[in-house]
């Protein structure tokens, strides 16, 4: 099974054409909204996977948003066809995430297995409602 090396969310990213090095611009761990419900600005979900020892077969990855209380929403599913390298970068561009409550929301990344979805990592997005200035 592929192993998750890292995952993060950011506002933008730059991938160098020659070296494939990635620069992450403005990492995202929270959002301040004027009112609720709200739609957060678009973000990138970036990840790096270790395929060493993987059998080379395609695998499927999903992203899920879970609010502090409530039901999870699938943000996206992607089938990955491994190349000849032992590392694989996978980036999702997520449109504005819809949130209805303040608090800790979670974005989880999972790999599909014969037994179901195996969560490999969870990132928080804390949502705060802006306070009115006096």
The 10s digit of each residue's pLDDT in 63-83 is: 999 999 989 999 999 998 887
Q: What pTM value is reported for the model?
A: 0.88
The domain ranges of the chain are 3-129
Fold of 3-129: Immunoglobulin-like (2.60.40)
The pLDDT value given to residue 76: 92
CA distances from 43 to 4, 29, 53, 93, 125 (A): 19, 11, 31, 6, 11
Residue 52: strand pairing partners: none
The mean pLDDT of the chain is 92
pLDDT per position as a tens digit, 24-59: 999 999 999 999 999 999 999 999 999 887 777 889
What backbone phi and psi angles, to 5 degrees, belong to 27?
-60, 150
């Amino acid at each position: 099974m592929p192993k998750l090396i890292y995952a993060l969310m950011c506002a933008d990213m730059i991938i160098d054409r020659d070296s494939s090095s990635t620069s992450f611009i403005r990492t995202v761990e929270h959002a301040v909204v004027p009112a609720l419900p709200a739609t957060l600005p678009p973000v990138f979900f970036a990840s790096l996977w270790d395929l060493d020892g993987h059998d080379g077969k395609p695998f499927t990855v999903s992203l899920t948003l879970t609010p502090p209380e409530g039901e999870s929403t699938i943000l996206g599913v992607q089938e990955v066809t491994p190349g000849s390298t032992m590392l694989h970068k996978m980036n999702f561009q997520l449109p504005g995430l819809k949130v209805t409550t303040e608090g800790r929301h979670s974005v989880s990344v999972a790999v599909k297995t014969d037994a179901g979805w195996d969560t490999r990592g969870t990132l928080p997005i804390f949502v705060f409602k802006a306070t009115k200035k006096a």
